[in-house]
Structure 1
């Protein structure tokens, strides 16, 4: 057997290039701005007055900074869609512009694959509060605003993409699941291009109140900038964030042939389920560790090929502990450096995995691992090599990016640097 063709994945399928990236995140509304904030390791958490006014236990969140919405959407579009869909469409516009897809691209060969964990629940909350006592007067756009698949369908409609248009809801793993499944569709010939990612805007009283009632969220109301602290000994819960991240995935051979700028590659993907508890991870990390191993094997690599790990790192006691054990199970006594983005951005729920994949691609290409924000001492330091203080220089290499969600939903991506 001769050498594998350069455009072929180790599985025999097509390689999957990333040719466009767009983000709307608490760290910034462009990839470079957000990445600089990530390297600086400063939390974006801030007080949210409406949470204080309703006397929630949690008064803060990580919000997307203001930007010119009119540059992306007409006033009519903005009125018809909710904030989650707005953020998704704006991030997608940046990603599609970045990819510079050819004008003759067949629309039936372009798909849309989007993940969301919360979907339109905040919009349903708002309309229930405003019209619950007079349901006959419900706003006409209530159903399309609140459908979980609205972001994906609106995106497909905006560009006329006629390929597979699918919404994934695997809790906090949704964005990673969407990217992984999109890559599979390209790898095995169902699509030539996929516009894929994740989105959520869940800073609402019902969602925040429900998570707070579970004691899943940090309650550091007096010092919100110190609240999100993945793997830190003094962590007390996650910080809610909002945002969207979209990647344009494309057949490697056609991307090369048209001279596209390639940001990197989705080289491996796997997902599985703890089948253990609806909100708690399996404490030994065995199933999550297996998911990491499967993703690495799917990329045709060994653990020694992974340059660093982007941890899910929610800043909750149980999740961080279980993930550290999972990483240790996967890599053994010589784990690669580990970072966790949520110390800066908070937890974007369904948007988190997609945003972190975008960051991971830059880290892989530029040979740098961001520090974990607010990390002092860690009870997991004997299991994983946590990066703290300042960014760590490493050789450009593949990155493993983890996402774990309620229901025991595990999803992992292996991302390769641009080459």
Structure 2
């Protein structure tokens, strides 16, 4: 069976550094940090008092007030990003065969704020179980693609992938395969997350996963830096329209890039820590290259998982050196989490968008906030430190890893 080619024809982004795809890209190449003191709740008793919140967002500018109240914030973000991507793609929704349009979405947690609020309401109500009738449908992780499908009438495959921080990269790979194998012509894919909540911040603080650089939030996310002390929690959504190549060509669609392939693996090592030698990461990148029919020396740019954790950053760069050998020093490696923070289940989607736009514009966004060399990191690697770098990018790889050892990797190439 001959696999069909898959291309990207639409992009949408709602992030801590920009509320549209274009705003997001402009902030990326200019090295803008999205980290700031938390505004959603009182952080007086929290070890970490900052995050990368979405800013200047008013949901009723996009969604009817009555309908928006039926959605958790993570689903609202999904709807907004998906609508931007659909509009960007130029799809004629009156003509497209909606039986062959799917929605495959990623979310690591889902409606955490809704769950938190309903439990608090119960506790404050003297044990009276007066739950909101929309509690369950607002909370469940699969409701985001369901809402997108319901709004537009898309009747193809519809589900959510949950693999912690690898969730939306998993969704991208599933969407790729759905089109490759001929099950769909178009898939709306991506991911969303809204975990900047009391429960989210408290939980990650309890794990000692978050930076506590409260005196300087904007510099707290510092992947590969010798003084990094944990990740910065972010929120938002990224959406991509994947389309069968001939289908896109027939309607004269703008094509951003081809989805060359993807890969999956497991660390099979620890609940939260990566394998110190990055063995699972080595396998996922090898799998991705093989799936795409590409060689290590074909890759120009890698958007790393790069969360700014002491263990994770070193393990990933070790894996890159093992897979790419001498060519590793020719690759522009970066971590856009230095600007956006870590969007958990949405990370793979917004970083895939950054990788695709690097191909389109011939610019690799920087890894900001780097001031101190880490002696455990190979000094010959080009980590695109502190300033964007212009270069031709023909092939870009995006790495995304999740608690539990879930690894996902996607490759995009110029078309």
Alignment equivalent of 1:47, drawn from 21, 27, 37: 37
Residue equivalent to 1:3: none
Superposed displacement of residue 210, structure 1: 1.1
Q: Verify: 1:359 aligned to 2:359, yes or no.
A: no
Cα 1:236–1:51 shift into 2, 3 Å: farther
Q: Does 2:289 match 1:296?
A: yes
Indicate yes or no: 2:342 matched with 1:347: yes
Supply the distance in 1 between the matched residues of 2:10 and 2:134 (Cα, whole angstroms).
Answer: 31
Aligned residue runs from structure 1 range 177-196, under 5 A: 177-196=170-189
Contact 2:112 2:194 (8 Å CA) reproduced: no
1:334, distance to aligned residue in structure 2 (A):
2.3
Q: What is the match of residue 391 of structure 1?
A: 388
Answer whether contact 2:7 2:244 (CA < 8 A) is retained: yes
Q: Distance in 1 between matches of 2:332 and 2:351?
A: 16
The aligned counterpart of 2:120 is 129
Alignment partner of 1:230 is 2:227 = no
Once residues 378 and 122 of structure 1 are traced to their aligned partners in structure 2, the CA distance between those partners, rounded to angstroms, is 38
> What are the residue-to-residue correspondences of 1:3-402 with 2, within 5 Å?
12-102=2-92, 103-132=94-123, 133-335=126-328, 336-379=331-374, 380-382=377-379, 384-402=381-399
Matched residue SS, 1:254: helix
Q: Distance in 1 between matches of 2:118 and 2:192?
A: 21
**Structure 1 unaligned regions, length at least 5:** 1-10
In structure 2, the CA distance between the partners of 1:29 and 1:49, relative to structure 1 (3 Å rule), is: closer
Given the two structures, how large is their TM-score scaled by the length of structure 1? 0.95
| Cα distance in 2, alignment partners of residues 309 and 303 from structure 1 | 11
TM superposition shift of 1:371:
1.2
Query: 1:377 Cα shift?
Result: 3.1
Instruction: Measure the CA separation in 2 of the matches of 1:382 and 1:66.
Output: 39
Deviation readout 1:48-107 (Å, 9 max, x if unpaired): 145544511110000111234223210111111110000000001111111121322111
CA distance in 2, matches of 1:50, 1:90: 20
Mapped to 2, the partners of 1:61 and 1:16 lie a distance apart of 35
Please name the residue that 1:404 is paired with: 401
Deviations 1:82-137 (A, max 9, x none): 10000000001111111121322111101010000111122101111122344431
Contact 2:296 2:327 in 1 (8 A): no
Paired position in structure 2 for 1:5: none
Query: 1:286: Cα distance to partner?
Result: 1.7
Secondary structure of residue in 1 paired with 2:369 = coil
For the residue of structure 2 that corresponds to 1:293, the secondary structure is helix
For 2:65 and 2:187, locate their aligned partners in 1 and report how far apart those are by CA, in whole Å: 28
Contact 1:272–1:287 at 8 Å: present in 2 too?
yes
Q: Distance in 2 between matches of 1:337 and 1:221?
A: 30
What do you get for the CA RMSD once the two structures are aligned?
Answer: 1.3
**Contact kept? 2:301, 2:393, Cα under 8 Å:** no
Cα shift at 1:33: 1.1
Aligned length: 408
The structure-2 alpha-carbon separation of the partners of 1:395 and 1:123, relative to structure 1 and needing over 3 Å to count, comes to: same
Does the C-alpha gap of structure 1 residues 268 and 153 become closer, same or farther in structure 2, counting only changes over 3 Å? Answer: same
Instruction: Give 1:378 shift.
Output: 3.2
- TM-score of the superposed pair, with normalisation by structure 2: 0.96
Moved more, 245-254 or 33-42: 33-42
Deviation at residue 160 of structure 1 after TM alignment: 0.8
The 1:96/1:202 distance shift into structure 2, 3 A limit, reads: same
SS at match of 1:412: strand
Contact 2:334 2:365 in 1 (8 A): yes
